[in-house]
Amino acid sequence: MIQVPRGTQDILPKESYKWQFIEKKLHEIAKNYNYDEIRTPMFESTDLFVRAVGGSTDIVNKEMYTFQDKGDRSLTLRPEGTAPVARSYIENKMQHNVEQPVKLFYVAPMFRYERKQKGRYRQFVQFGVEAIGVEDPLIDVEILSMLMHIYQSFGLKNLKLVINSIGDIDSRTQYNKALVEHFSPRIDEFCHDCQTRIDSNPMRILDCKKDHDHELVKSAPRIYDYLNDESKAYFETVKAKLDELDIKYEVDYNLVRGLDYYTHTAFELMSDAEGFGAITTLCGGGRYNGLLEMIDGPAKTGIGFALSIERLLLALEAEGIDIPENKGIDIYVCTMTDQARDTAGTLLHKLRSRGVSADMDYENRKLKAQMKDADRKKARYTIVLGEDELQSSQAELKEMATGETKKLSFEEIINTLEEL
Ligand code: HAM
């Protein structure tokens, strides 16, 4: 039997209403903050991710779904949304838009060849936002406040916002030098990946899951001490504004993020909820001041975050928060005879074309079973069509919640439901 590919899932109707609810809310919150939707292709030139996300990252080295197309181009299913949005900003010359920053959001599937684990999929849906074109701590704070707003609006409580500053390119270069000096003498005690990271991207050693508890990780120099005055001032302003808004956070100097494009503000939102699982990160993001230039764009800066709906759902489940089910249909038409079934078909056609949601029995079931079906479909009203009803073109419209009935012509039934 052919099965769904490893690390992917079917989202069946008993779950898809939750996705609809979440996506609708995310669209509404994006609108509150004045972010507009962007849709980019599901695949891009491989080169985009190699240059933007970084050749030394796990994403590029191990996790990309890369293939040659029939024209011998190397393409990659997008593993994340920031690089494609940056590519589109450059290609569509959005730096000339009258309004800056350009504020965009997306809800889109991403693909990473990762080991399957609770909360980790090979295809997952990210909601992400990007504000590109202006460097201002106020925008960093807007992004962080939107992030917290999203999670809190679902009623989640066990949240921990962790922030750090990676500084500008200059600070980062100084810091990387210090890390190389710190780790080099004993790098052979570290995992194979870290032994490569010391040359390609020493900061990533701080984030290694295998070497997390090594004493040298704990005693590593702190990035804060290597931030130049400008970077420090930027970080201090962001923190002060977060305090003003009473947005709670912790500073973690070891937070470096898994993608290479970050500068200054970097952050992750974690779930503290019991039962959420081992992967506690709900959302990650940060500022990326050099990214556009890295892919031949203008010297414009940006900041954003992305969360996966899969992990948001896990967090809701862990905190016992239910998502309201979709409402049922407006009317269920029960039928007693074959002829009544024909008439019901015509009636449904008219009801639906006037915007009323309606259904009937297609399995020739007994009236009792049809009533049960109407209940299952959460029908607000029912009618029963038999010979009398066909002759008189009238039926008893029954409101299921109250049991109240009213005899009406078919046309009156349609009009009543359309008005409701
Ligand atoms: P990221 O940290 O790689 O950042 O991913 C962001 C979020 O996507 C994670 O916090 C998690 O919720 C979700 N996620 C990542 N991998 C998986 C997976 N395999 N299964 C389920 N969920 C996953 C980025 O992607 C950046 N583009 C975020 C960003 C936007 N930075 C600036 N702007």
Q: How many CA atoms lie less than 13 Å away from 325 in the CB half-sphere?
A: 8
pLDDT at position 55 is 86
Is the predicted pLDDT of residue 26 greater than 90, yes or no? yes
Answer yes or no: is the C-beta of 258 below 6 A from any ligand 1 atom: yes
Structure tokens at 76: 């990659």
Answer yes or no: is the C-beta of 167 below 6 A from any ligand 1 atom: no
What is the per-residue pLDDT across 169-217, written as a single tens digit (0 to 9) for each?
899 999 999 999 999 999 999 999 899 889 988 998 988 888 888 999 9
Report the separation in Å between the CA atom of 306 and the middle of ligand 1, taken as the mean of its atom positions.
Answer: 5
What is the per-residue pLDDT across 360-386, written as a single tens digit (0 to 9) for each?
999 999 999 999 999 999 999 999 999
pLDDT at position 362 is 95
The CA dihedral of 219, 224, 228, 233, to the nearest 10 degrees, is: -170
Nearest residue by C-alpha to atom 31 in ligand 1: 285
What is the per-residue pLDDT across 93-135, written as a single tens digit (0 to 9) for each?
999 999 999 999 999 999 999 998 999 999 999 999 999 999 9
pLDDT at position 263 is 94
CB of 400 closer than 8 Å to CB of 385:
no
What is the per-residue pLDDT across 255-298, written as a single tens digit (0 to 9) for each?
988 888 999 999 999 999 988 888 889 999 999 999 999 999 99
What is the per-residue pLDDT across 290-348, written as a single tens digit (0 to 9) for each?
999 999 999 999 999 999 999 999 999 999 999 999 899 999 999 999 999 999 999 99
Q: Rounded to two decimals, what is the model's pTM?
A: 0.93
Question: For a pocket test of ligand 1, which of 126, 279, 280 has the largest count of ligand atoms closer than 8 A to its C-beta?
Answer: 126
Answer yes or no: is the C-beta of 121 below 6 A from any ligand 1 atom: yes
Answer yes or no: is the C-beta of 300 below 6 A from any ligand 1 atom: no
pLDDT at position 124 is 98
Answer yes or no: is the C-beta of 311 below 6 A from any ligand 1 atom: yes
pLDDT at position 226 is 94
Q: Which of 226, 228, 260, 224 is nearest to 239 (CA)?
A: 224
Answer yes or no: is the C-beta of 197 below 6 A from any ligand 1 atom: no
Report the separation in Å between the CA atom of 215 and the middle of ligand 1, taken as the mean of its atom positions.
Answer: 28
Nearest residue by C-alpha to atom 4 in ligand 1: 284
Q: How far apart are CA 52 and CA 102, in angstroms?
A: 19
Nearest residue by C-alpha to atom 20 in ligand 1: 120
Q: How many CA atoms lie less than 13 Å away from 90 in the CB half-sphere?
A: 18
The H or E element spanning position 171 is helix 169-183
Structure tokens at 166: 């990676």
Answer yes or no: is the C-beta of 261 below 6 A from any ligand 1 atom: no
pLDDT at position 375 is 96
Is the predicted pLDDT of residue 420 greater than 90, yes or no? no
